[in-house]
Amino acid sequence: MLKVYVLPTSGTLVRLGLVVSKKTGNAVVRNRVKRFFREAVRLILMDEKAKMTPSDVVVIAKPLVSTVGFNSVFAELKTLFDKLK
C-alpha cells in the first residue's frame, strides 16, 4: 500500500515528500490521502522526535490507499518508521 524512501541529510529537520498519483482517485480523494499521511507522520514524529535522525522522507501511495481509513495508514506508516530506526 505504501513505499517509503529515506535519505539522511545534514540539516536539522525531518522533511516529508508525498506522492499520490491520479490512479488513486480524483483531486478530493488524493488530497484526503495526503492529509492522512501528514497527520500520521506528525503523530509519529511527535512521539519519537529525539529518535529520528534528520532526513528526507518520501512516501509513495499506491492506488489501494484510497479505500482504507486513517487508522490503516497510521499503522502501516508506524510499522515502516519503526523499521527505519
Provide the CB-side half-sphere exposure for 52 (13 A, CA). 27
* Torsion-angle region of 84 (φ positive above 0: left; ψ -120 to 50: alpha; else: beta): alpha
Residue 14's pLDDT band (boundaries 50, 70, 90)? confident
Q: What is the mean pLDDT of the chain?
A: 87
Cβ-based neighbour number of residue 4 at 10 Å: 14
Residue 49's pLDDT band (boundaries 50, 70, 90)? low
Whose cell is 509519529? That residue is: 44
Over residues 50-83, the pLDDT tens digits come to: 577 888 989 999 998 889 889 998 998 888 888 7
